[in-house]
Structure 1
């Protein structure tokens, strides 16, 4: 009996020390042991899992088949997953599902089968793979499109040349209108291939040193006349913008494309905010968050109050000929041209959107900086969990973010300042944590999230029910644009994404020192 107790204690110690999620079940699929990593993965307390069926950790469709899989294996010994491993879906306590890799081993104790599962959350890996696949898809489409456009240009050159020769050789009154129509169509085709070449990064840019603010001002005059009085355009231009090397004509075309896209998304009226600022990407967190190389940039942000874009539309937004405006005859080349222009200009374009709340594009142009310009110290050497500052010592921050990659970055950022952290992937999950008595000093929440509670709703509940807690919200939208679209009007603290570590430090220090 003593030996059995010691063995049990050793097993518990091994399970608790394991970084990987581990679950032990009997032949009926009843959970006998689960370590802390597994409980955290599925958002349960360990005690809540013991004695329950494994089916609580699976979506309904998989749970319906699970018992059959187990009984089939016990009867036949056939290995469909035992000792092999496979990718499956898990289900958390709040009902949300996520991708995971499951490896299962089996043994016998006192003649009864025992199963041990080791689980890995693949949310971040799948997101990384998706970003890589999207980038590779755009590159492949660009190469194919560039080749096709090049061949079509050769064909159109012959067609246009021959039509012009026919016109010059004294075509009759009946032939001239036909030649004119054919020439116009051929020129439209040439314009189309020119835009395709822009997406493919093979257009002939004529870059020159320019003031981005002046280019914006000139272009907005044309945009205002085209949009009409129902659309309000506001600007927020930073003083003393750095100079950039840019093709002015193609830049104006890109800005107009984004403005007209925003108009179509906003319907009969809406608000468009154009802002510029100097940005130094020397912060490893922001570089990871927006997938951009460190350096000095001028950022142009275009935010609208339109319908927003679905997740699928965002994935394909920069592909040529992809459009959600089939009823209005959209060609699907506007954003493709913007993407190609930015890539050819050694810049970067970001997209942030939520259905029903609008869209925000960020265009990052490398600046023309002299060698003497100092680069601020990078925070890449920040250590996680250093000696806490006075304002962070013993404090707990609850990070609420539905994007797994951004949530991981936010946790690392805050831990690097000496805070302890908790995490939730939705406003509903965060609220439940607070109701369950979690010790928290500050809630750091994204503004727009799935579920019944967005960031503003969560903040309002915290203020009403947990008045001692501090709240800091963050969003990829400009604060004054997005706040007008959400029901809560209370001015909570708002940190605009993407933000540098220094901005986060300043805001947290200010809030805890107040």
Structure 2
């Protein structure tokens, strides 16, 4: 027979090794016990939780209702959440609200009613579901669009054919201009359906083995003649680049669309950067950020320093007929075509934008596998090296986007570092002034508030000269953040980045600090 001490030890072990958060409370809602996973989830120390009301883990609106729910259950026995799993919202110590799944059970110990809550953080699942829903929505729109375009082409065939017959059968001089206008309009309709078919991924691509540098260089030569002298075009093409299988004509069209969109966003003048580089997506973090399968890709980035896009515009940017330039004659098909072409080519498109600072589009094309010169056989995959690990140093993560902040915390902890975090530069500066013990600050470049990433880095350089700083940005280059720049140079890690890149940058900076 197991004694009481053994029972307690087993219970303690179960709670400590549990992956999900566990919280035990009495019928008044006072927290009796909680495990380490619960403390991590809600960002409290265990000592801060014990003896407090479970309402501290809920948004205010839900917390106000909780006591009534519990009193009603105790009085009537009605189960609204007891013994039933439910998706709810939790609130962390910093006030941020996040989705979680809550299962509550109850029991009695020595005549005292207790409740056991098991909680699972749904943040990553919700983000994945949103990405999947967005992809499915675009796929559904694509299927519908393809069907409409097909039927519309049949109608246009009849219209064009009859107009040509009228023209051939001797229309008079008054009828010919009308027939000519009608034929030109029908041809414009045919061009429209062609672009819709590209979005629907039903166009007939003619992919060939291509070097993106050559294709982009030719397209940019044409662009420089048409885009205007007030717009500067810069290029950053990697010296070593894999080949890709793409349709050169569609690639040229996609680059022209992105460049002309950038010109419109920049107004009277600005700078456009076109960069090309090999990218290897070989860890779950980067695949999660880009929503594409791991593998080798060639990334074509087009970045501008224009007006930027709102969150709603970013969410709908690739939908056909959605446009923010309706008054200027925009059709809303340019980005839809780019999306359809890249997806039909087996790749993916990413978009990063900030209002007032510009936008950056990333086009990922699968790299063509190299063949060995000797036998034409594909080389064996190289074993991926494990990234260098930290020794418990503390990294202060500064990021205003809650999802990105949570992901950054996970990534850096996985590399063997301890973490602190702040939602903006102002809060990070307050923490440092208050004496936070930090070895390195890892900060986003563009954030709301008084201090952006550059400003925070400049203050750290002036007031905490021994503290290292690594900045990160979703833009392809700081060409779009020139207005933020300071005289001091700071390292910038561009999003999305691989776990190995993050590890190497952190280790290099910390090693430099250790060397004095």
TM-score, normalised with respect to structure 1? 0.87
1:190 deviation in Å? 0.9
Greater CA drift, 355-364 or 309-318: 309-318
Residue of structure 2 aligned with 1:468, choices 466, 469, 476: 466
**Residue 237 of structure 2 corresponds to which residue in structure 1?**
237
Distance 2:55 2:81 in 1: 16
1:83 deviation in Å? 1.0
Q: Secondary structure of 2:327's match? A: coil
Q: What does 1:344-359 correspond to in 2, within 5 Å?
A: 344-359=344-359
**Residue 43 of structure 1 corresponds to which residue in structure 2?**
43
Greater CA drift, 275-284 or 311-320: 275-284
**Residue 319 of structure 1 corresponds to which residue in structure 2?**
319
Distance 2:362 2:80 in 1: 47
Q: 1:63 to 1:487 in 2, by over 3 A?
A: farther
**Residue 442 of structure 1 corresponds to which residue in structure 2?**
440
**Residue 207 of structure 1 corresponds to which residue in structure 2?**
207
Asked if the contact 1:472/1:493 (under 8 Å) is kept, the reply is yes
Distance 1:483 1:450 in 2: 14
Q: 1:219 to 1:445 in 2, by over 3 A?
A: same
Match status 1:427 vs 2:424? yes
> What 5-or-longer segments of structure 2 have no aligned partner?
373-377
Distance 2:381 2:440 in 1: 29
**Residue 133 of structure 1 corresponds to which residue in structure 2?**
133
1:62 deviation in Å? 2.2
Distance 1:26 1:73 in 2: 13
**Residue 77 of structure 2 corresponds to which residue in structure 1?**
77
Distance 1:399 1:351 in 2: 23
Asked if the contact 1:30/1:52 (under 8 Å) is kept, the reply is yes
Q: Secondary structure of 2:470's match? A: strand
Distance 2:463 2:268 in 1: 40
**Residue 27 of structure 2 corresponds to which residue in structure 1?**
27
Distance 2:414 2:397 in 1: 14
Q: CA RMSD in A?
A: 3.2
Residue of structure 1 aligned with 2:382, choices 373, 377, 383: 377
**Residue 394 of structure 2 corresponds to which residue in structure 1?**
396
1:168 deviation in Å? 1.8
Q: What does 1:59-458 correspond to in 2, within 5 Å?
A: 59-109=59-109, 111-282=111-282, 285-372=285-372, 377-379=382-384, 382=386, 392-401=390-399, 410=408, 414=412, 417=415, 419-422=416-419, 424=421, 426-427=423-424, 439-449=437-447, 454-458=452-456
Deviations 1:35-81, CA, capped at 9 Å, x for gaps:
33222222222233334333332223323322322222222221111
Deviations 1:138-194, CA, capped at 9 Å, x for gaps:
222212211111111111111111111112212233333332232222222111110
Asked if the contact 2:305/2:481 (under 8 Å) is kept, the reply is no
Match status 1:498 vs 2:496? yes
1:449 deviation in Å? 4.5
Greater CA drift, 315-324 or 94-103: 315-324
Distance 1:505 1:51 in 2: 40
Q: 1:309 to 1:267 in 2, by over 3 A?
A: same
Q: Secondary structure of 1:327's match? A: helix
**Residue 477 of structure 1 corresponds to which residue in structure 2?**
475
Q: 1:265 to 1:56 in 2, by over 3 A?
A: farther
Q: 1:432 to 1:81 in 2, by over 3 A?
A: farther
Q: Secondary structure of 2:206's match? A: coil
Asked if the contact 2:439/2:510 (under 8 Å) is kept, the reply is no
Q: Secondary structure of 2:261's match? A: helix
Greater CA drift, 315-324 or 288-297: 288-297
1:94 deviation in Å? 1.9
Q: 1:478 to 1:402 in 2, by over 3 A?
A: same
1:130 deviation in Å? 1.1
1:200 deviation in Å? 1.0
Q: Secondary structure of 1:481's match? A: helix
Asked if the contact 1:123/1:404 (under 8 Å) is kept, the reply is no
1:341 deviation in Å? 0.9
Distance 1:501 1:119 in 2: 28
Distance 1:18 1:284 in 2: 23
1:254 deviation in Å? 0.5
1:264 deviation in Å? 2.4
TM-score, normalised with respect to structure 2? 0.86
Asked if the contact 1:100/1:121 (under 8 Å) is kept, the reply is yes
Deviations 1:382-409, CA, capped at 9 Å, x for gaps:
49xxxx76xx334333444556775666
Asked if the contact 1:382/1:416 (under 8 Å) is kept, the reply is no
1:412 deviation in Å? 6.0
Deviations 1:391-444, CA, capped at 9 Å, x for gaps:
x33433344455677566655655565x32325363366567656765432233
Asked if the contact 2:352/2:361 (under 8 Å) is kept, the reply is yes
Asked if the contact 1:427/1:458 (under 8 Å) is kept, the reply is no
